[in-house]
Structure 1
């Protein structure tokens, strides 16, 4: 009787592994729907997704049974995934979409503000250097040219 209860407990814990697989699938679907780059190189992201799924299964089986693989592990993983997908998947998917769109919008605004700040800082620095250059170069030359004109006027009028 003890082994049966233990197997039932492991079965339920393996169902949680299926739920985690469903969460990863919804996160991946949200990434694909929000970013064009994920659609363009989907082979790479599919490979990464399946590596993550395999590692979730690997970790689940390792933690629960020390690699004593039984058929009900696959049944429980599938059952957990189906339970998740048919109950709360659409809400989690919507939540992931909102989180991803919020993060992307926030990062775009942050980058925009940083770029505009740096652009304004650039013009402040350039105009300051230009002003200093004017003070150093043009004002003395203007003073010298007005001094020469005064000497010419004095010399012409005498």
Structure 2
């Protein structure tokens, strides 16, 4: 049998577990509010959320009592969740919403900037290759073609001079 003071400390520690569950709940609400895919796949994400809540309860009970489960653990978890939800949940949810919104907007701007740079780089590479092929193939072709035309022109002039 545990002394009463140890039971009280276990009760308070389990209240902190309820607060942690409240933080997890607000994180889930913030994700659900900012990403539409979570609303579409609500059943799957709800199951994942409850899996993590169950895992957190087991971790809390194991860390505090080595799985010596008592009725007041559930009461303390509930009290911790309600205390958190009624006091600072609004502020944490607002902070999480702003953080998620800021990170998604920053990610979008970063991706758009990278796409713009890559698009411009694509044109720089394509036009550089075009210029390179012009230099390699077209300019010598012009040179040799004009050389042949000049030979023909001067050949006819030379032939007319020889006849005279």
Both proteins in one fold, TM over 0.5? yes
Q: Which residue of 2 aligns with 1:120?
A: 120
- Cα offset, 1:104, TM superposition: 0.6
- The answer to whether 1:87 aligns with 2:81 is no
The CA distance in 2 between the partners of 1:54 and 1:42, in whole Å, is 18
Q: Which runs of 5+ in 1 are unaligned?
A: none
The CA distance in 2 between the partners of 1:42 and 1:48, in whole Å, is 10
- Cα offset, 1:119, TM superposition: 1.7
Q: Which residue of 2 aligns with 1:58?
A: 58
* TM-score, length of structure 2 as denominator length: 0.91
The CA distance in 2 between the partners of 1:77 and 1:154, in whole Å, is 104
Q: Which residue of 2 aligns with 1:135?
A: 135
Segments of 4+ in structure 1 off by > 6 A?
A: none
* TM-score, length of structure 1 as denominator length: 0.94
SS in 2 for 1:68: coil
Mapping of residues 20-31 of structure 1, within 5 Å? 20-31=20-31
The CA distance in 2 between the partners of 1:48 and 1:106, in whole Å, is 27
Q: Which residue of 1 aligns with 2:101?
A: 101
- Cα offset, 1:122, TM superposition: 1.7
- Cα offset, 1:90, TM superposition: 0.7
Q: Which runs of 5+ in 2 are unaligned?
A: none
Q: Which residue of 2 aligns with 1:145?
A: 145
The CA distance in 1 between the partners of 2:42 and 2:131, in whole Å, is 53
Instruction: Let me know the Cα RMSD of the aligned residues.
Output: 1.3
Q: Which residue of 2 aligns with 1:78?
A: 78
Q: Which has the larger radius of gyration?
A: 2
